């Protein structure tokens, strides 16, 4: 993978991490279209480049996060408890998940099914919008956070979308779109930090003077684009809801499945 390819993947990551369209799915698709070789470093990079996106949340919501941290340990308990389900199933299914990372057809089905779910939830939310709970995402009950954490586990399948799964879970529990989206952002911090740290520890000799600049540049790009995406997403969400995200997922999922099922090759280079 060359530097320009890594930069494009980082931009894709920053743009899609906090949108309910699956950053991993888009990175796999982008890698396939650019003909990037599916080697261990590329698979590690697609996870490690998420760290820049984590920092974008900390910058955009720094005042609220600092205030919550000063108010007591509850915010730590909330985020840690919400993160545990994904950590458990991620470690349990690690090898299986890695095998899915190069399978574009898995992404296609996940995008399609996830798009249908988003359309359903958006319509349901429109009907019950006046009774939905508008709360501070950092002050949710721990039980609610854990249930959202279990919903996030669905995103272990490439194409499902971490933010999409956690937002859908939060909305199913009666939270407003905005509260659901913001808690998804906050939950990303321990989830993606753990995933990034785990990959870095496993890299061994793959982390060297040749790969380090690629990782640094990639994270800077995902950080900058991530800030723009977060600020734009919340405003769009409050005005338009999830309808167009659902439509986009369905169209892209059908396109990918149509290409793969017709016998054409659309995968990362082995």
- pTM (2 d.p.): 0.81
Question: What 3-state DSSP class applies to 175?
Answer: strand
Give the model confidence (pLDDT) of 156-208 as tens digits.
888 888 888 998 899 888 888 888 888 998 998 888 888 888 888 888 777 78
Residue 71 binned pLDDT confidence (cut-offs 50, 70, 90): confident
Give the model confidence (pLDDT) of 227-258 as tens digits.
999 988 888 887 888 889 999 999 999 988 88
Helix (H) or strand (E) holding 130: none
How far is C-alpha 39 from the geometric centre of its chain's CA atoms? 22
pLDDT for position 268: 47
User: Rounded to an integer, what distance in angstroms lies between the CA atom of residue 101 and that of residue 185?
Assistant: 23
Helix (H) or strand (E) holding 102: none
Give the model confidence (pLDDT) of 4-17 as tens digits.
999 999 999 999 88
User: Rounded to an integer, what distance in angstroms lies between the CA atom of residue 140 and that of residue 101?
Assistant: 33
Question: What 3-state DSSP class applies to 77?
Answer: helix
**By the 8 A CB rule, do 159 and 107 touch?**
yes
């Amino acid at each position: 993978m060359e530097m320009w390819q890594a930069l494009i993947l980082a931009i894709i990551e920053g743009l899609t991490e906090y949108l309910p369209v699956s950053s991993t799915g888009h990175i796999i698709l982008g890698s396939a279209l650019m003909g990037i070789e599916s080697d261990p470093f590329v698979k590690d990079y697609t996870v490690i480049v998420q760290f820049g996106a984590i920092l974008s949340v900390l910058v955009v919501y720094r005042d609220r996060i600092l205030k919550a941290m000063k108010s007591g340990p509850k915010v730590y308990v909330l985020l840690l408890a919400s993160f545990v389900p994904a950590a458990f199933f991620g470690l349990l299914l690690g090898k299986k998940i890695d095998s899915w990372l190069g399978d574009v057809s898995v992404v296609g089905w996940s995008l399609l099914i996830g798009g249908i779910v988003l359309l359903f939830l958006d319509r349901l939310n429109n009907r019950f919008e006046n009774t939905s709970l508008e709360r501070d995402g950092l002050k949710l009950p721990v039980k609610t956070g854990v249930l959202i954490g279990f919903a996030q586990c669905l995103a272990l399948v490439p194409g499902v979308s971490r933010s999409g799964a956690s937002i859908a879970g939060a909305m199913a529990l009666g939270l407003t779109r905005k509260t659901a989206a913001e808690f998804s952002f906050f939950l990303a911090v321990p989830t993606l930090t753990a995933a990034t740290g785990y990959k870095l520890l496993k890299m061994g000799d793959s982390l060297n003077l040749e790969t380090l600049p690629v990782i640094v540049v990639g994270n800077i790009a995902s950080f900058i684009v991530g800030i723009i995406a977060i600020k734009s997403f919340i405003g769009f969400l409050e005005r338009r809801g999830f309808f167009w995200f659902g439509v986009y997922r369905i169209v892209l999922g059908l396109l990918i499945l149509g290409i793969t099922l017709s016998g054409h090759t659309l995968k990362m280079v082995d």
